[in-house]
Structure 1
Amino acid sequence: MIIDLSGKKAVVSASTAGIGLAIAKGLAACGAEIIINGRSRESVERALNVIRQSDGSAKLTGFSGDLATPRMCGQLLTEHPDCDILVNCLGIYALRDFFDTDDAEWERFFQTNVMSGDNQRRLVLRRAGRISEQGPLEQAALTGGILDRQRQRPPVNLLTQH
């Protein structure tokens, strides 16, 4: 199935490798203009080159910055106020026992996995007015390092319902 996303602008956070890069490639192949995001300029440039090698006609822009911080989300919004699509691939976890994780670490997980997503959603909500948020974590077992991400899904789901 081919989806025509010509004329749409998509932000894919954490899109310099893995699933974020694969999603960015797919959206570019559908004609969307893609904003590639990573924490370092070097990783963003590498990702841009990878996509250009596979799709020379891709419309790409790079944005280097940690979108786990409100300041960088604000900068992204200032530079790209016209985003239509948000794919939030940003998230962290640690492989450790639940009882060995202190409150400071849980707060870091929450700020990155929940609040950064909320800050990113503002990019699209101002323009599109609606977000559908889905992900494989709803299907993940509550085991090991996924627990911290899984524990934070209810607030994310609550924030995106209206």
Structure 2
Amino acid sequence: MPSKQLREPMLAAKKLYDPYPVGVAEQEALADWMADGGYDRYMKRLRRSYGRLESMLRQRLEADLPGLFRIAPSDAGLHLYAIWLRDSESYGEFKRECRLRGVAWKDGTGYDAHSGSSSTAGAPAALFGFSHLEEREIEEGISVMREAAETIREG
């Protein structure tokens, strides 16, 4: 407990920095849930769910868009990192065509862990997020990407 001279300034600072204190009941409920294994069960469920989505996305990209991306191996994460196997111009066209059709991803070009030493350093790349998607949405997105790729090949 602070001294009498510091009590008021400390209470004012606490009110400023912690305007909504967490209730003791909520903290106890969370602690009980964690102690009873609730958090572990929750994390296992998420790992299974995300693992299923990641596997599906990886398989569909490889099967439906052969020769366009090389997917980097990964043991964890909520994104797939995939290197574009063609030239930068075609990557830009493909990405634009997909975006026009409602499918977008984060550009992963600057995320190459081997930059400078790899033959793919600076190559166009994609970060495909999947944690927010349902399996049906992945299926639909891959179909849109396949159509976009066919449009570019024909053009």
TM-score if structure 1 supplies the norm length?
Answer: 0.26
- TM-score normalised per structure 2: 0.27
Q: Which has the larger radius of gyration?
A: 2
